[in-house]
Structure formats: C-alpha cells, structure tokens
Amino acid sequence: MKDIVKSVHITLKTEEELNETEQKLIEAAKEATFRSYAPYSQFHVGASVLLANDEIITGNNQENCAFPSGLCAERTTLFYANSRYPDIPVKILCIAARDTSGEFTKDPISPCGGCRQVMLETEHRFGIPMQVMLYGTDGTYFIASARDLLPVAFDSESL
C-alpha cells in the first residue's frame, strides 16, 4: 500500500499586490455580477477571461426556473469565449461573486465540479495552463492551472 498525496498551491494576493491586468480582470468579473440572472438564488457570480489576443470576455450565471437548466458564470463565459474564438487560448479565468446581501464575498468562491471539468477541457484544448483567479474582498487566490483544481480528473487521456 502507498499513499498518493496531491495538494494545491494557492497564492493569496492583496489588492496592492495585483498587477494592472489582474486588476482589470477583477474589475471585469465584478462588473459582470451586476448583469447576472439569478432570481432564484440571489447569488450573483461574474467571470472574466483573458484571451491570448489580450481581449477580455465576461459572463455571469444564468439561472432557470427548472434549476438544472441554469448555468454557472464560469461555463457561460468559457463557452462564449470558445465559441467566439475557437483558436485563441484562454490564459486566465477570474471569478467574483456577490452573495444574498448584495456585497462581494469576503472569501473567494470556488468553482463547482462541473465548471472545473469544463475548465480542464479548455486547458487541454489549447495546450497551455489556464491560470485561475478567485476574488474575495479580503484577497484574491491565484491558482496556476485549472488542473490543480481537479487533481484526480477524468480527462481525454482517460478515453
């Protein structure tokens, strides 16, 4: 018997430690929360992605009265970016959320399992790591690659 340990490296940056691009991505994700459609949960999530052509694309959660038919901000944004620019890699994905109080969350929120799987697919299809930024008012988590968020993953090599 042996143990296999997989851990995740998270860098926490305060506002003062962010570079200009990182600030722009956070601002874009925060702004996108105000356009989300979340009448059922009142939990507004915004996402922004930085493409390799330096374009920033945003999206947000889109809910539905048939709950499972809704979609998270991360997938809405990645699917839109990839459908618009199928050949341009996604370099960074950033998310921010406002909870039922309407305020941005103090701690970063973390992508759900379904979004992690889609993030991994995006990373694979372009063959470069996609950095993940998770915003909270107390600080932003930086994770080097979507792979780090799904360490024991089903991926295309499993097929």
CB of 57 to ligand THU, least distance (A): 15
- Using the minimum distance from each CB to ligand THU, give the nearer residue, 111 or 139: 111
Annotated catalytic residue, options 74, 103, 121, 157: 74
- Using the minimum distance from each CB to ligand THU, give the nearer residue, 43 or 85: 43
**End-to-end Cα, the chain, rounded Å:** 27
Residues at the interface with ligand THU (CB under 6 A): 38, 41, 43, 45, 61, 63, 70, 72-74, 109, 111-112, 115
CB of 108 to ligand THU, least distance (A): 10
- Using the minimum distance from each CB to ligand THU, give the nearer residue, 33 or 82: 33
β partners of residue 13: 140
CB of 87 to ligand THU, least distance (A): 26
CB of 139 to ligand THU, least distance (A): 17
Q: Rounded CA gap, 40 and 106, in Å?
A: 22
Note if 74 is an active site residue. Answer: yes
Residue 75's H or E segment, with its range, is: helix 73-84
Handedness of CA 86, 88, 92, 98 (dihedral sign): negative
- Using the minimum distance from each CB to ligand THU, give the nearer residue, 114 or 151: 114
Task: Work out the burial of residue 82: count CB atoms within 10 Å of its CB; fewer than 13 is exposed, 13-18 middle, 19 or more buried.
Answer: buried
Question: Comparing C-alpha atoms, which of 18, 3, 85, 16 is closest to residue 50?
Answer: 85
- Residues annotated as catalytic are 74
